[in-house]
Amino acid sequence: MTRGLLWLSLFATAAVAADADLILYNGKILTVDAAFSIREALAVKSGRITAVGTTAEILRAQRGARTRAIDLRGRTVLPGLIDSHLHPLEAGLSEFREPLPPLTSFAAVQDYIRAQARKTPKGQWIVVPRTFPTRLSELRMPTREVLDVTEDHPVLFDASYVVVVNSAALRLSGITRDTPNPPHGEILRDERGEPNGILRNAQSLLKGLKPAAAFNEQEKLAALEKILRLYQQAGLTTIGDGGATPEEIALYEKLKAAGRLPLRVVMTWWVNIARPAEELLAEIRSRPWRTNSGDEWLKFGAFKVNFDGGMTIGTAYQRVPYGEFGRQLYGKTNPDDRGQLFAAPEKYLAVFRAARDRGWSLSAHTQGGGAVDLFLDIMETLDRERPIAPTRSHLIHASFQSPEAIGRMKRLGVTADVQAAWLYYDAPALEKVFGYAGLRYFFPLRSYLDAGVRVAGGSDHMIGYDKNRAVNPYNPFHGLWVSITRKTNRGGVLYPEERVSREEALKTYTIYAAWRLFAEKDLGSIEPGKLADLLVIDRDYLSCPEDDIPAIEPVMVIQNGRIVFEK
Ligand SMILES: [Zn+2]
């Protein structure tokens, strides 16, 4: 380089950089760059990170007259965290009208019913919000006796595909020992042949059950904005919506147009696989959407369908039967049952092929091992037509993994959305169903990373506002802690050989998640040129006692270079 050019480039750097909007200095900045470098200071201008380095360097080269410089006094800074899969609208509406109590035992469920009965006119339905038997201390699906704390009200306990009703509800709906099962549904019965209150895919038999009070559009927008702000205060600066319908997509667009979208959202377009194939194919081909259409605030991620049900209710499609304990936990009648696949493999293949041809990354709710294996079969078929790896297609949950399936993922370039916190909540119950050995590859983070599969962390938050008590709590530090410790809520440790380091866990909530969302050039690490989404926390993530990690609190959240939350 000639002397003149060197002079010119130094001058240019100084002239552009010396008036940063914001400088953070005297910190411990975990950049999550390729070398996992730790720096003291960073500078931000026009929403992007312009420099990282030592406090002296950054203050000398980046500080201008208008710069706001913040002394971190040794505090830790992380890239803004990314939860790759949650359900904001459902969660936002869940407590929009009134707060919900945590329902973790039969006693808590009964207290909830009694409280509702006092303010609900006689004869009207009481609905217990969605609760899973794996999360109840009894580890048992309730039967009607548990819900019989009111004689005057029909009661419904909602475990999604399975519901439980009380005796008053059975009477009101005329369901007796002589009522035949509806098509594809089942009325479960006790030893005497009487309905025990558990109904599987048989909700249509219930009389007078009105859908939950409808919300108008203004309420939905307010609920969505509210929950997105709570996510941001918990340290999330980008979220993946785990399954948006056209109505929800329109709500996000309205929120953004009104300047009310507080953080970055990557939407997954979800379609109901139960609809006729021709209708689905026509809709996929006619919608203007595809992966990455949108901008850095609101864009599309993947296309999604559901392959199977849930492990919390015994409908995940497994490689092995649910066995005897499935009777107690899920109210199953057939111990050989392996769960439920929602459509035929050919239908999934046709729908996925159409979505891929339209430019979509492909994804599917796949919880049981049987569903995981089928998804990979279909990816292999599509991969023979055209390499699937560039689409960054992924399994959602993949709770029950296997070394074979992980090997296939690596070969295909397929990744996964994982919810490590579920092992904390659900492993004790699932161990009774499948045995300890049956959980050897339950959310096996170490196996994924050792195989070279980058997985994205997340919560699948769906109900409740409190980040630690919601159904699928969304506190990202709890998810990180479970990835690191594999501790369960009953004091055990599930296969410690699957633990990952604090650095690796952090990558699943930052750079790996960004990659999954096609956003790694802008997000997921603290490097010059990336968007300034940052999080200052109240203790040192890398060196605090391990069991303090879930209690880490954000003290400052910076979104696009602006301080949006400060404690
Ligand atoms: Zn979900």
Tens digit of each residue's pLDDT (9 = 90 or more) over 44-90: 999 999 999 999 999 999 999 999 999 999 999 999 999 999 999 99
**460 Cα: distance to centroid of ligand 1 (angstroms):** 5
Per-residue pLDDT tens over the stretch 297-348:
999 999 999 999 888 889 899 999 999 998 889 888 888 999 989 999 999 9
Q: Chain centroid to CA 80: how far? A: 16
CATH number at residue 373: 3.20.20.140
Same domain, yes or no: 273 and 389: yes
Tell me what the mean pLDDT of segment 3-26 comes to: 64
Cα–ligand 1 centroid distance for 230 (angstroms): 18
Cα of 241 vs centre of ligand 1, distance in Å, is: 8
For residue 417, how far is its CA from the centre of ligand 1 (angstroms)?
10
Examine residue 550 and state whether it is found in any structural domain, yes or no: no
CB 536 within 8 A of CB 94: no
Give the model's pLDDT for residue 480.
98
Q: Is residue 24 very low, low, confident or very high in pLDDT (cuts 50, 70, 90)?
A: very high
In a domain, 541, yes or no: no
Does residue 4 carry a pLDDT above 60? Answer: no
Q: Across-strand partners of 563?
A: 558
Counting Cβ atoms within 10 Å, is residue 538 exposed (0-12), middle (13-18) or buried (19+)? Answer: middle
pLDDT value for 129: 83
Find the 473 Cα to ligand 1 centroid distance in Å.
13
Question: How much distance in Å is there from the Cα of 316 to the middle of ligand 1?
Answer: 13
State the distance from the centre of ligand 1 to the C-alpha of 27, rounded, in angstroms.
36
Q: Is the pLDDT of residue 442 over 80?
A: yes
Specify the higher pLDDT residue, 16 or 446. 446
Tokens of 375: 């998804």
CA of 449 to the centre of ligand 1 (A): 23
Residue 551 domain flag: no
Residue where a domain stops, chosen among 74, 109, 130: 74
Distance 86 CA to ligand 1 centre (A): 6
Spacing, Cα 347 to ligand 1 middle (Å): 21
Residues 51 and 113 in one domain: no
How far away, in angstroms, is 458 Cα from ligand 1 center?
Answer: 10
Question: For residue range 211-246, what is the model confidence (pLDDT) as tens digits?
Answer: 766 899 999 999 999 999 999 999 999 999 999 999
Which stretches within 265-402 are classed as H helix? 277-286, 325-330, 345-357, 369-385
Same domain? For 228 and 354 the reply is: yes
416 alpha carbon – ligand 1 mean position (Å):
13
CA of 324 relative to ligand 1 center, distance in Å: 28
pLDDT band at 113 (very low <50, low <70, confident <90, very high): very high
Enter the tokens of residue 561. 């270079």
| β-sheet bridge partners, residue 157 | 128, 164
387 pLDDT exceeds 50? yes
Specify whether 303 is located in the same domain as 448: yes
Q: Are 196 and 307 found together in one domain? A: no
Q: How far is the CA of 176 from the centre of ligand 1 (A)?
A: 35
CA of 177 to the centre of ligand 1 (A): 36
The pLDDT mean for the chain works out to 94
Range of the domain at 258: 83-88+215-523
C-alpha of residue 243 to centroid of ligand 1, in Å: 7
Residue 265 has pLDDT above 60, yes or no: yes
The residues, ordered by sequence, that sit 6+ positions from 513 with a Cβ below 8 Å of its Cβ are 82, 83, 84, 238, 240, 456, 457, 458, 524
Residue 563 within a domain: no
pTM of the model: 0.92
